[in-house]
Amino acid sequence: MIEELLFIRQEVAPELIAGLWMSIQLIIPSAVCGLLIGIVIGTLRVYGSPGLKGFAGIYVLFFRGFPLLVQLYLWYFGLPRIGIYLSPFAASVIGFSLCSGAYQSEYIRGALQSIRKGQLLAAYSIGFSHTRAIFSILLPQAVRRALPGCGNELIYLIKYSSLAYMVTCIELTGKGSILANFHFKYLEIFIIVGAIYLLLVSVVSVGLNYLEDRIAVPGFDRPKI
Amino acid sequence: MAEKVPVLSVQDVHKQFGDTPVLNGVSLDLFRGDIKVVIGPSGGGKSTLLHCINFLVKMDAGNIYLNDTRIDQSRKRELYAYRQKVGMIFQDFNLFDHLDALHNVMIGLVQVRKLPRSEARQRAEAELERVGLKDHMAKYPAELSGGQKQRVSIARALAMEPEVMLLDEPTSALDPELIGEVHEVIRAMAALGMTMLLVTHEIGFASTLAKEIYFMDGGRILEQGPPQKILFDAEQARTREFCSKIGRLNENSD
């Protein structure tokens, strides 16, 4: 038992912590870019000009339709064919952001469509431009409504970040696999890896709940769970 | 007529929704200080008319003049400036749900008028005080009664210093007790000389306020005249038929 713990502390922990650090570096920019892409694409799908609406629709079709792993392969193994060489890290972040953006945009679209038309009319009636009305009146409401869904996507992102390993960006799952193969201790190491993801997801859930409370206003309340 | 140029002139407005004509050539003039009331059955085009005047609904044909200047809605800056001059009150209030009362009134001043926040706040507080909501400034729409919401929306429109107010059934979503407090605010606006075009079913209230009543049905102004004439001595059979019914319903209203 002591031997096992020592093994974990000396051989496993440093490696997994390095992997976890890489995962976090992948997740944070992907989550931020994904949300921003989602807000832009979701807004264009509802309020864009016909051309932009079409573009946004096609964007969602492809980035939600292609399996993420295939997308990552295209970014990392496919692009060199046309002379573009991405690092494993860059290919992963780009792949995650674009894919996450497609999913996020659907939450934003749904939320925007659920806002009564009168909100827009009222903004126009006091002299708002279309764009300003969307940014100042509609999106602040839509983001509040979309937050539970967007948070769900963020949690999903945390877990699919493990696919970066497939394009040689060695993050938490990658480190785990290497260790498990090397020491031939699959059960122990993957339980630890899974528990780290669980911990990460739990921390993010608590953060999201806090954020939902912080930006809640009467009328956009959610039932307390 | 003391003044030659109307503040707001609506000329020959046509609007069709699909194959259904809703407005069939509506014209009217509002001179400074005029209070004119539009009555008529639901579906007669009253609401659509007000929405067309504010270009919230695109009209098929017709022109709108503000102080003798034709509004060209394809020139966006002109349109936005025009909408500030023509305040609009909606039947269902349309307060911005994510902002408290104070910020509902402030947001136009800050974002459209580009006033510094402190000045906008002062102005917004003054407007809310004027409609009797000094103690409710930090409340969100979901925490306000219908009458309070409508008063916030009036304050929000007034903050933009409009020359004309369009009121689209401002009290029809309210219960009788709340109607009174909104009427009081409208009366106060009238006393200050605000030019108003009011669509309402509150004929009793309208007749004490209006200089002229328009009776609208089938997308046309069928008849217009002073309240007493329209309500009790209308020329058109259709007007008489409509007024005989609401006359009874409104006997007890203010």
Q: What is the pLDDT of residue A223?
A: 59
pLDDT score of A137 more than 90 = yes
Instruction: Please judge whether A218 and B142 are an interchain contact, meaning their C-beta atoms are less than 8 angstroms apart.
Output: yes
Please state the ipTM of this predicted complex: 0.91
Domain tally, chain A = 1
Phi, psi of B72, deg, nearest 5: -105, 110
In a domain, B77, yes or no: yes
B interface test, pick of A114, A117, A126 with most B CB neighbours within 10 Å = A126
Summarize pLDDT for A149-163 with one digit per residue, the tens: 999 999 999 999 999
Picking from B88, B98, B153, B154 by the largest number of A CB atoms within 10 A of its own CB, the best residue to mutate is B98
Shortest alpha-carbon distance between residue A42 and chain B (Å):
20
Is the pLDDT at B252 greater than 70, yes or no?
no
Please, which pLDDT band fits residue B247 given cuts at 50, 70 and 90? low
Chain A CB contacts of B139 below 8 Å: 218
Residue B204 lies in a domain: yes
What pLDDT does residue B1 have?
A: 47
CB contact under 8 Å between A121 and B94, yes or no, is: yes
Between residues B103 and B248, the one the model is more confident about: B103
For residue A195, tell me if it sits in a domain.
yes
Question: Looking at the domain assignment, is residue A107 inside a domain?
Answer: yes
A interface with B, Cβ–Cβ below 8 Å: 116, 118-119, 121-129, 132, 136-137, 140-141, 144, 217-220
Burial (CB < 10 A; 0-12, 13-18, 19+), residue B104, is buried
CB contact under 8 A, A220 and B98: yes
Q: Are B83 and B55 in contact (CB under 8 A)?
A: yes
- In CATH, what number is assigned to the domain containing residue B35? 3.40.50.300
3-class DSSP state for residue A34?
A: helix
Question: Rounded mean pLDDT of B16-35?
Answer: 93
Q: Which residue range is the domain that position A61 belongs to?
A: 2-215
Tell me the pLDDT tens digit for each residue of B164-187. 999 999 998 898 888 999 999 999
Residue B2 domain-assigned (yes or no): no
For B164, the domain range is: 8-249
Minimal CA separation from B230 to chain A, in Å: 31
CA gap A193, B45 in Å, rounded: 66
- Number of domains chain B is built from: 1
Question: Which residue from A minimizes the CA distance to B92?
Answer: A118
**According to the model, what pLDDT value does residue A224 have?**
57
The nearest CA of chain B is from the CA of A77 a distance in Å of 46
Q: What are the tens digits of pLDDT across the range B57-115?
A: 999 999 999 999 999 989 999 999 999 999 999 999 999 999 999 999 999 999 999 99
**CB-based contact A218 B140, cutoff 8 Å:** yes
Who's near B174: CB < 8 A, 6+ residues apart?
B146, B147, B150, B182
List Cα–Cα distances, A30 to A149, A155, B125, in angstroms.
16, 12, 43
Among residues of chain A, what percentage have pLDDT more than 90? 87
Per the prediction, chain A carries an average pLDDT of 93
* pLDDT confidence band for A102 (50 / 70 / 90): very high
With 80 as the cut, is the pLDDT of residue B156 above it?
A: yes
Kindly indicate the confidence band of residue B248, based on its pLDDT and cuts at 50, 70 and 90.
low
| SS3 call for B17 | strand
Split at pLDDT 50, 70, 90, the class of A222 is low
Query: What CATH number did the domain enclosing A134 receive?
Result: 1.10.3720.10
Rounded CA separation A118/B96 (Å)? 9
Q: Average pLDDT for residues B125-153, to the nearest whole number?
A: 94
Rounded Cα–Cα distance for residues A98 and A92 (Å): 10
Cβ separation A122–B112 shorter than 8 A: no
Among candidates A116, A126, A218 on the partner chain, residue whose Cβ is nearest the Cβ of B112: A126
d(CA B163, CA B192): 12
**pLDDT category, B3, cuts 50, 70, 90?**
low
User: Residue A121: its pLDDT value, please?
Assistant: 96
Q: How far from the centroid of its chain's Cα atoms is residue A142's Cα?
A: 18
- Examine residue B3 and state whether it is found in any structural domain, yes or no: no
Contact B98 A124 (CB under 8 A): no
What average pLDDT does the structure give for chain B?
90
For the stretch A63-86, pLDDT in tens is 999 999 999 999 999 999 999 999
CB contact under 8 A, A126 and B156: yes
**Could you give the residue ranges of the DSSP H alpha helices within chain B?**
46-53, 76-85, 101-111, 117-130, 146-159, 176-191, 203-209, 227-232, 237-249
State the Cα–Cα distance between residues A180 and B65, nearest whole angstrom: 79
A220 belongs to a structural domain = no
Q: Would you say residue A223 lies in a domain?
A: no
Chain B: which residues have CB within 8 Å of chain A? 51, 54-56, 76, 80-81, 83-84, 87-88, 90, 92, 94-98, 100, 107-108, 111-113, 139-143, 153, 156-157, 160
pLDDT, tens only, A12-49: 889 999 999 999 999 999 999 999 999 999 999 999 99
Q: Residue B170 in contact with residue B186, Cβ under 8 Å?
A: yes
Whether B242 is in a domain gets the answer: yes
